Structure 1
């Protein structure tokens, strides 16, 4: 009940009424357990795009060692075919006749971490995902088929035969009837999957095109994916999120790669119109994303750069404001990237990506900047295009080599308000092992998103004030990290955010990692910066939206910020010297400084280590 009341407080009443109306008068959904929606034949034709990809040499892939949340892809292998409903078994039997003898199937329903297996004999909306310790994201990650881009590159490099690709695609299509089991439980994952299937198929098209039976089955599956996504869009009145973007890019890829029909034209028109709207709804004017997380910003930005490239190919004429916001979203990633190429992980991090090309480094998102170099002529992105030439080429060919020039933007030093020193104060110094050159340090601020940086080749300080009231109304991916920070000097992390670790599989750990005590601010008794709700899994993606932050003053070597929540008034001053960072805290109530006290660390979703 409490979470319902909180939602009412944070969502305008007309939006709530629209959502209720939509649920009450929702059209009847298909009964997937009583119908076979897969077909062996297809009337569609494939329209290849990536005709002249020049693979960099030497090429390095991580396919044999591809991991999902710390689990190797091989741990999903099984010798047994799935036991489907009778209505779906005939189709599986026909497909398996084409699979190479000795091939080991994937257990697409298995959470390998807990050992729990979801039920392929039940519809997507009947999967029990709230069992204690079970993580539905584990099988989802496998079903996104993101490893296929790595496998495709290995095949093109003659390290593997094309039969392995065919076997895995046939395995998925045969083992996962449309609308059945965990792999169809979220349209977002279906969107990621269809994009990765299409791009990998395009890369291998010359090796696949003569197998007409396989191509027909593949295209029929793509059509079924797009129809499922269109029937189950994750659109919420008032404010959407990354899930809806994945729905849209899935439809856009399918509509672009399949020959034009009434259906594909509908998907194409709809997705282009909606994506153009979403960039203004989901990204602030400074380019930051509305979900309150640096990792989710990278995820949504990756969707937008690939989607925009395909939109341009389809005749889309973007406005200057559209391209400016897209550019700024990429610049945001470049600016929050540390000298060692990791990002600061403020807010949630579920290690989500659209593609996982060649590398799988959890906090390194520079491959997205390589993608930006294919669309924007800018020194910010150019070096990453050289590092990721395959990604750059893909963007260029998807967009028909349209190129944009954008002037450099400069952050102004600001002073917005004065302040009075509060009753209680403490100061701490964090020494550096070597001197830094203060003249090279530049100030960068994304005030809409709420992140402020001081950065040079040898120094990196990022400070969170993520509390914009215009963020997603649940603050579901935000953490209690206000006025917390990350500090790296000469490639060594002196202070780093603890990460996220998990979502629904362990509610206690989920809340620990997003708590005030898990971050590097101050602690006032047991008061959280924003309260959460522990009544259900819904509460694991909700914060009270209590804290308000602002920058009081910023200079070339210092910044003063303010945070207010539940009667607490906190002011924090960061002063950068050549040999140390001095932090001074003022508060109207007794407090403790809480820097480097949380004993756990997660570099990515499902990966846990102790701080040493």
Structure 2
């Protein structure tokens, strides 16, 4: 098992001790002298930057014309009215009314509130409490402002501008700078700042908002910039999406304030410094955190989505304001979008590999109902930004997102060839696909070069989609600190679609360390072709003296799965797990199994010396939301049996249905 280097730990001790002492001193200081700057510094300030969205009158008129032509002008108003009524649905909460005055420091799912204190002294994680600080943070990201602003543009109703003002002022009153739970994470301050800037673009000319409010608003944003710059999340051996969000926030704030800065005690912490530093550092971090094949090194598909959105929207803003990243940066960013395109299943969603927390930078459309696993909005945006018809084609249906982010949307001129198999070796994703079958296999190093913060024990786990219908799915991620037991369950080997050896984890982890899993499995691909994958991991070698090897053959109508164990005989029972998608029925008939859903049926056979059973399973549909499903278990009948082959084949009736459907479409001229 790879251990954290002793020298690294020794170096961290003085830093931790220093921060504890500094927190005590800082707490006493700001109690006596709150962190602020005079709002008068911003009385004559007006941002001169180009924003997302473009806010001049001509562009506004063009946006509204297109929204009405596309039939996208009604739902934002309905969603904004819910926001005015303080009805929110966040992190699996379902619709919740937060009352006349929002309590910004309370987890409204549990009722637990964090008392104001210096942020460095606030305890965020408590294994004995079901409270989840992410609920508080999520609301305070203000990602609903974009929807509120769209409704204002569409209707001109003053109530949306007044609600914007009311929420900003109320939040500021309840969250003095550095003195609340909403200041405990620089990433949260950065995302909040980005969304406030987007809100400014919508409401800057609202008659209901006077100069006094805007001076206070600019003051608060400036304080956010100072805070982020002073508390960058870059102290780890391997930084992650938090640091990227910090840098993006500084770029947005630096562009927003331009040459405007406040003299005095912290004059060096100013917008020009933020922008220069963050642009340079974001470029550097991309090549650290994003692999050459375009995959994010946190090895979690939801975090890849978040990181792509952070980088893409920030690159768009920079270009609008005359700032360009290098050609190499753009090439790798384009590959990130290409990975999402390849990863997208026929049903338009991506598999939920690894951790997921519904993280976004800006929610441009469908604030209260966006699909957590549909990334085609980013494909549409990237298609416009890179002028790439292939991305445009696979981002079809999300033209509104492209309009808000890139300022345009164009119908693709070409229909690209169907997506095929591809290996993303640095990221550890291996995709086998043809016109009927989609199979993704996970095999590679843990997140952040083996630290495993957002990784699961999912080596050689797979997902299977046939005829556009999910049959075998990744169970996802339910919650983090709100329930330690469930957090650890959903990252354990036993819930993933792989081979499990009794009593063993692929990578051992401390149940109390929610974001650490040191590399033991060392997954590696041994062979890959367009119709074949073979890989192995060593996660059971130290605990059971075994190595697991899995091969997957892609056929026209399914896959053949071959699992082998190499090592000392008789070292324990083992079984295969398969989490079935909701709605999938599973029927066991002797040595054969049939999975069926929505008219698609797959038969599993192989003459196996094993027993199959269907039991209770769980699927996290988003952070904080869980639904029951079925789990198929195929268990070895003998500890001496070290190999099992399963053939997953599309049932004949489904093949015939597919052939008829294709023939009908061809006759209609809908297929070439």
Fold similarity call, TM over 0.5: yes
Cα displacement string for residues 352-402 of structure 1 (whole angstroms, at most 9, x for unaligned residues) = 1111222221211222222212311112321366633443244436xxx9x
**Highest relative contact order (Cα 8 Å, sep 6+), 1 or 2?**
1
Q: Separation in 2 of the partners of 1:532 and 1:171?
A: 42
Secondary structure at the residue paired with 2:123?
coil
- The answer to whether structure 1 residue 610 and structure 2 residue 628 are counterparts is yes
Secondary structure at the residue paired with 1:594?
strand
Matching residue of 1:81:
none
Matching residue of 1:128:
123
Structure 1 stretch displaced more, 282-291 or 553-562: 553-562
Secondary structure at the residue paired with 1:454?
strand
Matching residue of 2:576:
593
Q: How is 1:546-565 mapped onto 2 (pairs within 5 angstroms)?
A: 546-565=520-539
Tell me, yes or no, if the aligned pair for 2:437 and 2:558 is still in contact at 8 Å. no
Matching residue of 1:444:
422
Structure 1 stretch displaced more, 43-52 or 471-480: 43-52
Q: Separation in 2 of the partners of 1:130 and 1:370?
A: 38
Matching residue of 2:276:
269
Matching residue of 2:253:
254
Q: Separation in 2 of the partners of 1:249 and 1:441?
A: 32
Structure 1 stretch displaced more, 252-261 or 193-202: 252-261
Q: Separation in 2 of the partners of 1:386 and 1:71?
A: 30
Tell me, yes or no, if the aligned pair for 1:19 and 1:236 is still in contact at 8 Å. no
Tell me, yes or no, if the aligned pair for 1:339 and 1:458 is still in contact at 8 Å. no
Q: Separation in 2 of the partners of 1:124 and 1:258?
A: 26
Cα displacement string for residues 256-290 of structure 1 (whole angstroms, at most 9, x for unaligned residues) = 11241351101110110110111001101111111
Q: Separation in 1 of the partners of 2:206 and 2:342?
A: 40
Tell me, yes or no, if the aligned pair for 1:42 and 1:219 is still in contact at 8 Å. no
- The answer to whether structure 1 residue 149 and structure 2 residue 127 are counterparts is no
CA 1:331 to 1:146, structure 2 compared with 1: closer, same or farther past 3 Å? same
Deviation at residue 68 of structure 1 after TM alignment: 0.7
- The answer to whether structure 1 residue 158 and structure 2 residue 152 are counterparts is no
Tell me, yes or no, if the aligned pair for 1:562 and 1:569 is still in contact at 8 Å. yes
Matching residue of 1:88:
none
Partner of residue 112 from structure 2, selected from 111, 116, 122: 116
Partner of residue 301 from structure 2, selected from 284, 294, 299: 294
Q: Separation in 1 of the partners of 2:192 and 2:179?
A: 15
Tell me, yes or no, if the aligned pair for 1:517 and 1:598 is still in contact at 8 Å. no
Deviation at residue 315 of structure 1 after TM alignment: 4.1
Secondary structure at the residue paired with 2:342?
helix
CA 1:581 to 1:316, structure 2 compared with 1: closer, same or farther past 3 Å? same
Cα displacement string for residues 161-187 of structure 1 (whole angstroms, at most 9, x for unaligned residues) = 321222112221222111111111111
Q: Separation in 2 of the partners of 1:12 and 1:447?
A: 30
Secondary structure at the residue paired with 2:464?
strand
Q: Separation in 1 of the partners of 2:130 and 2:356?
A: 19
Q: How is 1:86-485 mapped onto 2 (pairs within 5 angstroms)?
A: 104-120=100-116, 122-131=117-126, 132-158=129-155, 160=157, 161=159, 162-207=161-206, 211-262=210-261, 263-359=270-366, 360-383=370-393, 387-396=397-406, 442-456=420-434, 458-467=436-445, 471-485=448-462
Secondary structure at the residue paired with 2:523?
strand
Q: Separation in 2 of the partners of 1:377 and 1:333?
A: 17
Matching residue of 1:87:
none
Larger radius of gyration: 2
> TM-score, structure 1 length as denominator?
0.82
Secondary structure at the residue paired with 1:548?
coil
> TM-score, structure 2 length as denominator?
0.75
Matching residue of 1:67:
89
The count of residues paired between Structure 1 and Structure 2 equals 537
Deviation at residue 66 of structure 1 after TM alignment: 4.3
CA 1:308 to 1:208, structure 2 compared with 1: closer, same or farther past 3 Å? farther
Secondary structure at the residue paired with 1:541?
coil
- Quote the RMSD (CA, aligned, Å): 2.7
Q: Separation in 2 of the partners of 1:240 and 1:257?
A: 26
Secondary structure at the residue paired with 2:113?
coil
Q: Separation in 1 of the partners of 2:210 and 2:186?
A: 29
Tell me, yes or no, if the aligned pair for 2:238 and 2:448 is still in contact at 8 Å. no
Matching residue of 2:515:
541
Deviation at residue 17 of structure 1 after TM alignment: 5.6
Question: Unaligned 5+ residue runs, structure 2?
Answer: 262-269, 580-614, 631-672
Matching residue of 1:431:
none
Q: Separation in 2 of the partners of 1:178 and 1:365?
A: 35
Question: Unaligned 5+ residue runs, structure 1?
Answer: 1-5, 79-103, 410-438
Deviation at residue 513 of structure 1 after TM alignment: 0.4
Matching residue of 1:513:
490
Tell me, yes or no, if the aligned pair for 1:487 and 1:495 is still in contact at 8 Å. yes
CA 1:328 to 1:25, structure 2 compared with 1: closer, same or farther past 3 Å? same
Q: Separation in 1 of the partners of 2:152 and 2:437?
A: 41
Q: Separation in 2 of the partners of 1:371 and 1:287?
A: 17
Q: Separation in 2 of the partners of 1:384 and 1:264?
A: 38
Tell me, yes or no, if the aligned pair for 2:441 and 2:462 is still in contact at 8 Å. yes
CA 1:273 to 1:19, structure 2 compared with 1: closer, same or farther past 3 Å? farther
Partner of residue 35 from structure 1, selected from 5, 9, 33: 33
